[in-house]
Chains A and B, each alone.
Chain A
Amino acid sequence: AQSVSQHNHHVILSEAASLELGCNYSYGGTVNLFWYVQYPGQHLQLLLKYFSGDPLVKGIKGFEAEFIKSKFSFNLRKPSVQWSDTAEYFCAVNLGGTSYGKLTFGQGTILTVHP
């Protein structure tokens, strides 16, 4: 069975600091990878996605993620965070090349950005 691991439960940064949130998955086959964000009081929103091709993907609000197949990782990065990035971030994976679609999520990382 697939599993997703997010290394940090809670990350605290000051504005303008750089961000990297770790995500590792366990599955040997083709996968699709996603990062979702949940701002306080709001629903899950898609931040970025990877299906194939360039392993460096760019998402909304200046976020990017890099797929490293050999490390089974899909880490999320942002060069300079803002107070408005305070939210919970979830990494998710599903099987690639199929119509199955069921997502397996990590446990989430809470990001707190201090002004």
Chain B
Amino acid sequence: DTGVSQNPRHKITKRGQNVTFRCDPISEHNRLYWYRQTLGQGPEFLTYFQNEAQLEKSRLLSDRFSAERPKGSFSTLEIQRTEQGDSAMYLCASSLVSGLAGGFRFEQYFGPGTRLTVT
């Protein structure tokens, strides 16, 4: 399967613990996004990377959240000192942005998500 993969698919943790999620984008894709989705809502943007550079972080991403994409391939999202309000589905998406010649017409391909439950 050459789609976006995410691990783990489910994570149950106790309040105050740290958790880390991994996203493997489609192999040639240079752009990687993280979103968060809560019940009854659409996904909300958290952050994105162009290759290994993190170019924007949403105000939703408190200082307890950190994301990395060290070699421009896979990415990790870490949540420190989890709170019950962090319970959500964390989605990763990737795309190939090929510059002006591509007219910036690109679409995002989503992974299956990691469902986090904080008890």
Minimal beta-carbon separation of B57 from chain A (angstroms): 11
In the bound assembly, the distance between CA atoms of A30 and B45 in angstroms comes to 20
B residues with CB within 8 A of A: 4, 31, 33, 35, 40-45, 48, 56, 91, 93, 95, 97, 99, 103-113
The answer on a CB contact under 8 Å between A108 and B42 is yes
Q: Which residues of A contact B107 (CB under 8 A)?
A: 34, 46, 49
Question: How many A-B contacts at CB < 8 Å in the complex?
Answer: 61
Query: A92 an interface residue at 8 Å Cβ cutoff?
Result: yes
The answer on a CB contact under 8 Å between B95 and A101 is yes
The answer on a CB contact under 8 Å between A105 and B44 is yes
Contact count band on A? 20 to 34
Q: Which residues of A contact B44 (CB under 8 A)?
A: 105
Q: Which residues of B contact A45 (CB under 8 A)?
A: 110
In the bound assembly, the distance between CA atoms of A44 and B93 in angstroms comes to 10
In the complex, which residue of chain B has the Cβ closest to the Cβ of A48?
Answer: B107
The answer on a CB contact under 8 Å between B31 and A107 is no
Q: Among the interface residues B40, B91, B99, B111, which one has the most CB atoms of the partner chain A within 10 A?
A: B40
Q: Among the interface residues A4, A101, A103, which one has the most CB atoms of the partner chain B within 10 A?
A: A101
